[in-house]
Every structure is written in C-alpha cells, then in structure tokens.
Chain A
C-alpha cells in the first residue's frame, strides 16, 4: 500500500470547498443517527475528487451539505471563502446558481427543454449570457454538437447524462458536485462520462467532487476520500480500481 501524503489543511482558503467539524444529526434520543460526525475535509481547485463509502456512511449527506442543499447540525462548510450556514435561502440559491454545478444520478434534465436549453438553464435563470467560446468548447468535448435541439426523451441515457455534465460546466462554476453520475448507466457509457469528467478537470481546469460506491468510477479521480459511519476513515491519491476495491474490502477492520 502506498503511503498517504498529509491531507491539505482544511482551513486553507485557496480550497474550492471545505467542511470544518461538520456534524449532521438526524432524529433524537434513541433514534439519533449521526450522519456526519465531526468531518473536516477540503477539496483543492482543479482536481477530481471522489467520496466513497458503504451505504449509510454519510457520503451523500456530506456532498449535499457542501453544495448548500442541506444544512449542518454544527460545524461549517465553505464554497471558496463563503461560509454557507449564515446564508439565507435566496443567497444559497444564487450561490448554487453561480458557483456550483450539479450532476445527479438520474432525472437530470428538464423534459420540456431541449439539450441546449437544458445546458444553458442555470445561465438563463441568472439572466447571464453564455460565454459562447466556452460553451462551444464544452459542447464539443461532450460530443453533443448535433444533438442540441433534441429533447431529453429523444436522447439515450448516456447522451442525457452528457447534457447534464455540460450543464454543470456551462456556467464555469467554482465546483461541480456529482452524485453517482454513472449509477444508471451501463459500464461502457459510464466510462465515457467519467473520461469526459476527467478531461474537464485536466483540460478545462474544472473542479469536481463525485460521490460513488463504484471502485471503477473512483479510479478516474485524482483522490479518493473514504467515509464510514459519518467519519473520514482514509484517503488515497491517484487511486486505481483494484486499490480502492482492496481498501473497501478491509472496511470494518
């Protein structure tokens, strides 16, 4: 097993997003569940990170809190140097719109809008003009040029997910969160999406944080953070699928 380099300082304001002593408790008394238990972690800009862990480990909760979709019981999360917990609902919405991109597992697109309209939706909501050169680059890279006027129901699952990735990147957000982006796809289409995400990080300088339980998906990332029972238990740089699988096998040891 390779040695683990020391984690980046979670207070470093140059991080794209970070959580400091993040704790999330569901329920009360006997039914109390600590979904996140004093988690401190940071994500560097320009890198592709994966969060892994078994079901109920808190990996989705962590991502939702980082993205401002859910609130913490205690602790703090930051996007760039903005603390999210003091923000009112509207400011959170605007922050999501302007600084964050999302890719979900399924049901990623608005069925009444065509591919291009879906991609530029966050921009349209913000009444911002698209950066045409950037948009063109994103669309070309995802290989959607000839599909832009199609509606979601005229696209395959993989194509739909590519539109979702393009949408997440179109507004050039500070960070993109992806929640099991390949969960609903076959392995070949999944690999295509992941390659593109990796490409977006390498070539376009984007920052992506992805939640997954698939070791193969995780192997596309630069770094994997392992979560179990609401705590960070390990992390791995430049992971391979085998190494991740191996690490997962020893969970609970």
Chain B
C-alpha cells in the first residue's frame, strides 16, 4: 500500500510540489522563529557574561520591583566605604545613563539608531575594572572632552580632534572628541548601542548625577574569599543598598535579553502558526479533490481485494510522504530564513552579535510535528471517506462521495463556530494571564475558522451567484459559466475560499483595531487637548527617552508662550494596593489649560505636591473618593501617603496615576522631561509662539516640536507603520491562499476536461475560455475575502472593545481599506488563474472530448 502511495504521488509531480511548498512555508517559519530566538538567546547569554568583565561584586541600591533601568543611583560615599575593606582590590563608581544623551553629527543631525539606545558612561581608571580598550586618541579628561565607541564614531562620521555638540540631561555642551574605544573586547560588544564616555566628574555633572553613581563595581583581590568579602561589604552598607555577585548580574542581564528574544520569537511563531493553518486548509482541500478524482482507481483496488482500511492507509501514506519531504525541506529553508532575518536586522541598524546558529532538538521536533502532523491531520477526513467507495464504483462513473448533509452541516458548523466565539469571548473579556490569553484567543480564532468553513458551503451558492452577477451580466456567456462554475461545488468553493478568508480576516482585524486607535487619538486631540505645541524626543520607540529640562525652562522663559507643561513617565515604577503600576508626573497648577482629562470630581489646580490624580477605573477598584488617602510605594523603596485630589475619565494621555513633579524628583533619578506641551500667549494666532518653539528646540536636534496637526499626523503614521509591518507579514498567508486557488483550479480543470472540450467544440474561443476560468477564480477569491472581512470586522470589534478605553474609545470601521482588501483578493484570484486558464485554453479539443 505504501509503495502505491509513493507511486501515486510521483505520478502527479506538480500537485505534489504545490502541497509540499505550502507546508514548507509553514515549517520554515516555525524553524526560523525558533532558530533565531535560540541563537539570539545563546549569543546574548555569552555576551551577558562578557560585559560583566572582571567585576566580581557590585554595590547598588536595592529594588523590590520594577525595571532595572529605573534603579535609583547610589551615593558615591559608598565607594570610600568599600575601598578600605579587606580583600577589595579595586573599586570604581560606574555610570550608565540611558536617556537624554545625543551627540550631534557634524552636519547637525542627531545620532540615532533604530532600536539600540545611546548610553552615557564614565571612564574608570583602575586597570582591573576598565572595559574600554582605546582604539584611537586618548581617554577624555575634564568637562571639555568626550570619547565614543569605535563603531559609532565610524558609522556617524565623528573625527577625533573635532568639537561636537552633545545633548545631555544637564543641557547642551560643546565637547571635543579626543578618542575612540572598543567596549569589552576588540569586537566592541555593544550590540549596536552607542556609548558616549566622559571622565567621572564630568559624567556625573552632565548626567545630573552629582555625587552619585549608577553602581559601584568591585574587583576582589587574588586569594581572597569572594563570599567573605561580599559579607564584609554587606555589613558596612547603609539601608537601601545591596551587594550582589557576578552571577546575579549575569542572570539579570540574561533575563532581560531572554525577554526580548522570547517576544521576538513569539511574534514570528504567531505568523508561522497562521501560515501553518492556511496550509492545512489547502492540503485538506487538495486531498479531497484528488480522492474525488481517483474514485475509480481506488474502487479498482477495492475490487481487487483491498480492504477499506488498506485504501485509507494508502491515502494517509501519501500524506505522510508529503509531510516528511516538506519537513525536511522546511528545516533547511527555516535555517536560511533565520540567516536572512539576521542580515535584515543588521541592515536596519540593529546589529546582532555574531554567533553560531542554534538548532536545538526542540526545533527539529517542532518542525516535524508541524510538518508531518498538519499534513496527516488535514488528510485524515478525506482518507476516512475513502472507505465509502464500493468496489462497484470501478465499473461506473457516477459514484460520488457523500458530503455532509445540510442539516448536519449547519448543526455541527454552528456548534463549532459557537465554541470558537465563546473561547474568543473568554480570552477577550475574561481575566487570564498573557500566555493563557493568547492561547485561548488563537484557539478561539482557529475554531471559528473551522466552524465558518463547515458552515460556508451552506451559503456558498447564493453568495457566489450574487457576487458573480455582474460578471455574468457583463462578460457574456463565459462570465455566466464562470459564475455557475464557482457555485457548482459549494464544498470546494468554500474550502478554497477558506484559506483566503483566514489571511483577510486577520488583516481586517488589524485594520479595524488600528483605525479605532487612530480615531480615538485623533478625537482626543481634537476635543480634549488645549495645548498648541508638543515637544518630544525624536526616538518615540524608547519609553525612557527624554531631553534636558533646560529646554523646558527655556520655553517657559519666552514671552510669546503663555505656559509650558512638562510630563514624565515611568513604567511599572510604583506599587498601589499591592499591584505594580505605571506612573506619570506633571505640574498640577496649569495641567487643565493644556489637557482636558474630563475631571469627574475634585480640584486639579489646587492640588498640592503630595496629592495624586487617579483615573476612575482604579479609583473604583480601590474604592477611592476625592479626599481619601492612599499609600504609594516607590521604586526607591520609600512609601508616601498621598491624598486623592481629583478623579478623571480620560486616561489616554495621563494614564491611571499622576503625581506632582516635586514628588517625582524625590523618588526618581531620571532627570529628563519626556513630553512637553506648550500654550501660546496669543490664543487666536499662535505664529509667534511657533517661532519661539522653533528657535528654542533648534538647539536640540533629537527633539521634535510639532503643532496639533503635525502631532496628529505623526501619531497616525506611527499606527500606520505598525499596521503595515503586521499586514506585510500576513500577506504571506494570502500568498499561500493564492497557491490554494491555483491548485484547486488546476484540479477542477482536469476534472472538467471533457466539458471544456465540448465548449471548445461548439465554438468557445480560447479567449472566452480564459475569461471563464479567470472570473471563476475571482469569484471564489472574493467570496473568501468577503467572509474574511466579515469575520475580521467581528474579531476587530471584539478586540477593540476588550482594549482599555485609553487606547480605544469608539470603534471605527476602515471601510475604504476593507473594500480594497476585497478588490485585492479579486486581483489575487485573477492572478492565480493565469496559468490554469492558459492551460485550459490550450487543451486539444479532440483529446479533451475523448478524455476519460
């Protein structure tokens, strides 16, 4: 039986190739996403060890929660405290500042990388702890000098000996580049980050960290016992400080990297799963058609004595061969994809460290499960149906496999769709953790796809006829035949369309959510923003990015400007009611002149430095009223008791918790402003104020100043470019669907050879035949796209209502885009039909008529 399966496959090479190709795409995505995230992880892990250099122990402030980047700095008095202790070889205070630092290139443009940050550091003198290897020039000394890492100097054309402007948290400085260095090794292990170095006193001053360090690095003397030294240091440290060893730091760095690699890998894996599901539909459809065509052959086997079981096994055998071949090819294709992605990232300026590709056994197992598993599962139902074929079917040509009855189809399809909808609802509106949530959503969507696929034959005929009406009307009899052909086999039409449906549904969903986010934001700007100008760092992707408060002060000093409001954010930086929350800081007095957060109760301008503004949702959860007190634990370990000054409705700019800048400065080190709004003195004509904003921000090349309209456009563009990336990935799913349409069409043309011959014999021209086949494909494609758009809108609306109201207040349907998707699908259908149509048109009439 197995031999027969192989022979049957080889007899139809192109069909085999198409099915293999569909699975290869899915498998290679799975493999690629695993390989690249494993490789990233492994390279990052060794890097995490490397960048610790020779530091044995680190002293820093202790932090109970929140991101490492928010860790408060440690007082420099601790350096001397540690220095005198036994077993300590060398001690250095180190600085790592991630925001507010931007060197300006000779041409006036700011230094900028897509993704990796610009980090401000200090030079250290003790050879045991120095990680900067001089390449060119000399280390910086004093406030007039700085150094750059060698790759940044080269990439951004900085010349040693020249003087440059560097934007710093303490303001803009003119400094001379005196040298370049490689970090940690000759390979300069910065993973793309730009390092800007000053000597220690200058760095402390420029980074607004006088008397403080990010951390204190310690090298332990040879022969000393590490644990003893650590214990000795711990004993001396004041409260709120801790000493950790190398392994803890390495682990922390690895965990951070791991999170990036995991997110990255998960996104790729999600796309991989989409392609796998679409491929499964294609394979299922192909098998069903093939079996329909081979009824006589299979019946002959039965007549010759094969059991139903044996025939089924032969069909599954075919699937097995396809799955194994595709998995094998997909493994290599996936590794190639990983390499390609790496190259792509380098090209985008996110240079990944060189390292070997990690191909774990897990990757191979997953590839096999996906490749072989999906193929067999897709072939299972058609293979089981084969047992229905009686031996007598070998003699006649009128036996047809029974499809599921209409009633049963509606019941089963409806039930499956319902289960999918319930799962989706559970995911969207239940309270599940992230993994369970994503899994539930994916499973829900998949179940709904299957359910709709089961149901769709019920309405395939009327819908296909309706969609085909204009074609039948305007493309003559060929158009009429195209319409009739698309409606003649509803099961086939709907499963061919299903592959397209999935891709279109996901794209439409993303479009609906994106449009709603965009509109919410636009509506917000139109209705609740009172400010005229917005100043923000150019690098919007980095949530910690900011600029010197000097700029804010300068703006405030301009007579054309009425008032300026500065905002600061810190993610996951406070604990309220036992939960970690994001926090914003701003000035209460003028806030309402800049923003209108729809105050429900309370008085904002009158709020004092120890007051807090709370959004209505957390206020309700915690039962807070204006005037109540609430304890807030800050990231520096201190708790403040705050009075609720006001409760507001609109969280889109303010978030959920807002404190005063006075309070902020007491607990956070980041001394940069992250967002500033400006109000013109002249309320009717902001031209003078615009000029003032332009003049003041001109010095800060990495800062963007925009008026309302520009700001709106930028925000919309940001959503758009995100949508474009996601939809670009999903296009792949559409391409597989295209393959499906092509395949189905080819097979149906083969089935209908005699009919096509007859049409040609009675006078259909080749051109008319091509028209007929092309429009049949277009109708099927549009059917799939319409299903997809409907489903996608449903998904999108559900997702949009599940998102917090700070993202989406009202739901917008991007009708234009949705119509374009359907049109694009029609074009896809026409494209997929090019070759089958040509093939049909070239059929030899006489051969076709006598075809059996």
Contacts and interface: CB of A to CB of B under 8 A. Distances in A.
Given A93-B764, A94-B763, A110 B476 contact: no
Interface stretch (A49-57, A100-108, A197-205, A212-220): A100-108
B766 interface: yes
B488 A125 contact: no
A28 interface: no
Contact of A124 (B476, B484, B488, B754): B476
Contacts of A96: 761-763
A19 B574 CA distance: 99
Contacts of A127: 476
A56 B484 CA distance: 38
Contact of B477 (A70, A93, A109, A121): A121
A126 B484 CA distance: 19
Contacts of A108: 758
A93 B759 CA distance: 10
Contact of B762 (A64, A89, A107, A122): A122
A125 B766 contact: no
A64 B846 contact: yes
B488 A111 contact: yes
Given A70-B846, A124-B476, A127-B476, A110 B755 contact: yes
Nearest to A112: B484
A69 interface: yes
Contacts of B849: 69, 104, 107
B761 A102 contact: yes
A97 B758 contact: no
A70 B845 CA distance: 8
Contact of A90 (B488, B755, B759, B765): B765
A107 to B, nearest CB: 5
B484 A97 contact: no
Nearest to A121: B762
Given A112-B481, A121-B477, A94 B761 contact: no
A98 interface: yes
Given A64-B846, A97-B763, A121-B477, A107 B484 contact: no
B417 interface: no
Contact of A69 (B476, B481, B765, B846): B846
A68 to B, nearest CB: 9
A164 B168 CA distance: 89
Contacts of B478: 125
Contacts of B759: 110, 121, 125
A25 interface: no
A64 B850 CA distance: 12
Contacts of A125: 476-478, 759, 762-765, 768
A167 interface: yes
Interface string A73-114: 000000000000000011001101110001010011111110
Contacts of A121: 477, 759, 762
Contacts of B845: 69
Interface in B441-478: 476-478
Nearest to A104: B849
A107 B476 contact: no
A122 B488 contact: no
A117 B488 CA distance: 16
A29 to B, nearest CB: 23
B766 A98 contact: no
B748 to A, nearest CB: 12
B760 interface: yes
Interface in B739-793: 754-755, 758-766, 768
Contacts of B487: 112
Interface residues of B, number: 24
Give the interface centre of A94, A104, A108, A127 by most chain B CB atoms within 10 Å: A104
Given A64-B846, A110-B755, A112-B485, A69 B477 contact: no
Contact of B758 (A90, A93, A98, A104): A104
Nearest to B481: A112
A94 B477 contact: no
Contacts of B761: 69, 96, 102, 104
Contacts of A112: 481, 484-485, 487-488
A122 B846 contact: no
Contacts of A104: 758, 761, 849
A169 B850 CA distance: 22
Contact of A93 (B485, B766, B846): B766
B477 A124 contact: yes
A140 B270 CA distance: 64
A167 B481 contact: no
A110 B846 contact: no
Contacts of A98: 763
B460 to A, nearest CB: 14
Contacts of B768: 125
B290 to A, nearest CB: 21
B64 to A, nearest CB: 73
B848 to A, nearest CB: 10
Give the interface centre of B476, B480, B766, B845 by most chain A CB atoms within 10 Å: B845
A236 to B, nearest CB: 28
B763 A89 contact: no
Nearest to B760: A93
Interface string A156-192: 0000000000010000000000000000000000000
Give the interface centre of B481, B488, B761, B768 by most chain A CB atoms within 10 Å: B761
Nearest to B486: A112
Contact of B763 (A70, A93, A107, A111): A93
A163 B485 CA distance: 20
B486 to A, nearest CB: 10
B754 A107 contact: yes
A190 to B, nearest CB: 20
B766 A90 contact: yes
A183 to B, nearest CB: 13
A93 B481 contact: no
Interface string B213-244: 00000000000000000000000000000000
A64 B480 CA distance: 29
A7 to B, nearest CB: 28
B380 to A, nearest CB: 30
24 contacts: A64-B846, A69-B846, A69-B849, A90-B765, A93-B766, A94-B763, A94-B765, A97-B762, A97-B763, A104-B761, A104-B849, A107-B754, A107-B755, A109-B758, A110-B755, A112-B485, A112-B488, A113-B480, A113-B484, A121-B477, A121-B759, A124-B480, A125-B477, A127-B476
Given A113-B480, A113-B481, 12 more contacts: A69-B846, A93-B766, A96-B761, A97-B762, A104-B761, A107-B849, A110-B758, A110-B759, A112-B481, A124-B477, A124-B480, A125-B764
3 closest A-B pairs (Cβ-Cβ)? Answer: A97-B763, A112-B484, A124-B477
